[in-house]
Structure 1
Amino acid sequence: MTTVRTLISIATVRHWPLYQMDVKNAFLNNHLTAKVNMRPPAGLLHFSEQTAVTELGLHFFTFDSALFLRHTSTSFVALLLYVDDMIISGFDSSTISEVEQHLFCTFEMKDLGPLQYFLGIEAASSPKGYFLSQAKYANELNSIDVVPLDDPTVYRELVGCLVYLIVNRPDFAYAIHVS
């Protein structure tokens, strides 16, 4: 989340556009009929590091493997990728378009336009920058019935959701971690 906030901050200060795209993943909501390997199958010697993103000259950022960067003397593009959601920013619109077109040709994509909602964080743009909020995320948590939980997994998931809420509300940290 630090990388998300940092990219949004840099783009805001430098007046770069922030675009959002989504890879359509039907398998997330459908029953699978084929075998899915969670580990490389036996006999596979190594995993190719060449991906659709790196084919365009974008490279993993050393400190966060979800961030890909491409920097030349005439352009800079940052692509932040979390599972199937991504933010693209930079100062060269033609290079951004090139990255987007390559992704559209490689995957079934949705262009979501300017950044509005990413990983449970609403991003409202204004002339002064972006306002980040998790109000929608917090309201969804508030709708959970207050009933004793028989399953500790549900409790753990709820605690995890509350910890995630600290992303934009560090003032909640003490109450969440002590409770």
Structure 2
Amino acid sequence: MSQPPGFGDPAHPELVCHLHKSLYGLKQAPRAWNERFTSFLPTLGFQSTYADSSLFVKIVGSDIVVLLLYVDDIILTGNSHSVIQQVINFLTSEFDIKDLGELHYFLGIQVIKTATGLFLSQSKYILDLLQKVEMVDCKPCDTPCLPYNRLVKDDGTPYNNPTAYRSIVGALQYLTFTRSGIAFSVHQVCQFMQSPMMSHFTTIKRILRYLKGTLSVGMSYTRGDLLLKAFSDADWAGDPNDRRSTTGLVVFLGNNPISWSSKKQQTVSRSSTEAEYRAMSTTSVELDWIQQLLEFLHVQPARPPVLFCDNLSAIALSFNPVQHQRTKHIEIDVHFVRERVAQTKLCVQFVSSREQFADILTKGLSTPLFQSHCFNLMLGSSPHEFAGACKA
């Protein structure tokens, strides 16, 4: 810290100004604002949850108001316009807040109301990214990666600009919020952030070419039941660099996908059954977290969640109380899933590989199969054109 010109004291040159409040732009400013805002919300009757520290809920009789906070961007919704307006009035009296009306743009995600629900897209974000990497006029392609293709660690020559590589990959990671179809491809290029090769950057360019041809694609959310179901899959020993398996999972609330992931497992699996079972365990954890979130929102599904898997041996492990010699080393994962099945908190069912929606998150697929799974994940084009955006 140093004094601004003209404010220094010649007798005490070591003294500086004392800040009574955080200034916008300082490193600690977002944290100070968040603490100030979250400490005020309980005075309005809001409660927070350990499942998501940025989510707050207020219950007034049969009325519910939900507030989602990200630094200084806020989404406020509920089932009572009068209670929502009351909360807005209280917040406006305490903070300098601008009400932007109905939700249409939030953190780079465009939101369109349709006759059946909501349509989420990041087309403007994609256009900005394509302009940044000078690929606005690139030739589109049908899939984000080649079918069943895997990246190798030391393949070819090193890429000469690792910083740009990391920047583009970071932007692609944010795009997976509404574009689950590129999750596996982005998962692959994320593994080589430290020492990228030219072949890895070529894969990034293919993802961008795919996005160029699917600018209007986004996720549709429609009204329906509130039942949870999940699909888990694993590509056994699919990574040629360390022979670890890739876990793919997608969780649906009704017909709407609300959570998905493509992630490499932390240990090498000795069999496809083990790889599939570890994927089931990861999916069970995700289901537990979502159930806690729904309970906090006062949403009670009528039935326990259903977990679909395409490996009969892994399903048998979740029901069979006998510990086999070949599965002793995965005992924790076995007991984690088996306990929930025994307590009827989880139902495990078989699904054929052709109807395994999580397959798109574990490997590159042919064009017809890839497009089929994109349709299953509610990915499609919007009937409307996007008319710009504004920052909340």
Compute the TM-score of the two structures, normalised by the length of structure 2: 0.33
For residues 39 and 81 of structure 1, the distance between their equivalents in structure 2, rounded to whole angstroms, comes to 12
- Assess, with a 3 A threshold, how the Cα gap between structure 1 residues 37 and 171 changes in structure 2: closer, same or farther: closer
Q: Give the structure 1 partner of residue 173 of structure 2.
A: 163
Q: What does the per-residue CA deviation read over 1:65-105, in whole Å, with 9 as the maximum and x for residues that have no partner?
A: 11100113232100001111111111122211111011111
Q: Name which of 67, 70, 74 aligns with 1:82.
A: 70
Task: Find the structure with the greater CA-based Rg.
Answer: 2
For residues 179 and 110 of structure 2, the distance between their equivalents in structure 1, rounded to whole angstroms, comes to 13
Q: Give the structure 1 partner of residue 24 of structure 2.
A: 27
Q: CA deviation at 1:159?
A: 1.3
CA contact (8 A) 2:30 2:71 kept: no
Q: CA deviation at 1:50?
A: 6.7
Q: Name which of 63, 66, 79 aligns with 2:54.
A: 66
Q: Match of 1:63, SS?
A: coil
Q: Match of 2:120, SS?
A: strand
The answer to whether structure 1 residue 174 and structure 2 residue 184 are counterparts is yes
Stretch of structure 1 that moved more, 108-117 or 154-163 = 154-163
- Assess, with a 3 A threshold, how the Cα gap between structure 1 residues 149 and 52 changes in structure 2: closer, same or farther: farther
Q: Give the structure 1 partner of residue 114 of structure 2.
A: 126
- Assess, with a 3 A threshold, how the Cα gap between structure 1 residues 39 and 144 changes in structure 2: closer, same or farther: closer
Q: Match of 1:52, SS?
A: helix
Q: Give the structure 2 partner of residue 144 of structure 1.
A: 132
Q: Which residue identity does 2:179 align to in structure 1? A: R
User: Which one scores higher on RCO, CA 8 angstroms, separation ≥ 6?
Assistant: 1
> Map of 1:44-59 to 2, 5 A cutoff?
51-59=39-47
% identity of equivalent residues: 37
Q: CA deviation at 1:62?
A: 2.7
CA contact (8 A) 1:76 1:91 kept: yes
Q: What does the per-residue CA deviation read over 1:30-52, in whole Å, with 9 as the maximum and x for residues that have no partner?
A: xx6xx958999xxxxxx899722
Q: Give the structure 2 partner of residue 101 of structure 1.
A: 89
CA contact (8 A) 1:74 1:92 kept: no
For residues 36 and 133 of structure 2, the distance between their equivalents in structure 1, rounded to whole angstroms, comes to 46
For residues 30 and 125 of structure 2, the distance between their equivalents in structure 1, rounded to whole angstroms, comes to 29
* Count of residue correspondences: 142
Q: Which residue identity does 2:133 align to in structure 1? A: D
- Assess, with a 3 A threshold, how the Cα gap between structure 1 residues 62 and 173 changes in structure 2: closer, same or farther: same
For residues 99 and 149 of structure 1, the distance between their equivalents in structure 2, rounded to whole angstroms, comes to 52
Q: CA deviation at 1:145?
A: 2.9
Q: What does the per-residue CA deviation read over 1:107-164, in whole Å, with 9 as the maximum and x for residues that have no partner?
A: 1111110000011110001221110001111111111236x76462x43232111011
Q: Match of 1:115, SS?
A: coil
CA contact (8 A) 2:55 2:69 kept: yes
- Assess, with a 3 A threshold, how the Cα gap between structure 1 residues 85 and 37 changes in structure 2: closer, same or farther: closer
- Assess, with a 3 A threshold, how the Cα gap between structure 1 residues 99 and 172 changes in structure 2: closer, same or farther: same
For residues 178 and 149 of structure 1, the distance between their equivalents in structure 2, rounded to whole angstroms, comes to 19
Q: Give the structure 1 partner of residue 155 of structure 2.
A: none
Q: Which residue identity does 1:162 align to in structure 2? A: L
- Assess, with a 3 A threshold, how the Cα gap between structure 1 residues 37 and 62 changes in structure 2: closer, same or farther: closer
Compute the TM-score of the two structures, normalised by the length of structure 1: 0.68
Q: Match of 2:39, SS?
A: coil
Q: CA deviation at 1:177?
A: 2.1
Give ranges in structure 1 of 5+ residues lacking alignment. Answer: 1-25, 41-46
Higher percent of residues as strand: 1
Q: Match of 2:61, SS?
A: coil
Q: CA deviation at 1:173?
A: 1.3
Q: CA deviation at 1:53?
A: 1.5
For residues 127 and 38 of structure 2, the distance between their equivalents in structure 1, rounded to whole angstroms, comes to 41
Q: Which residue identity does 2:69 align to in structure 1? A: L
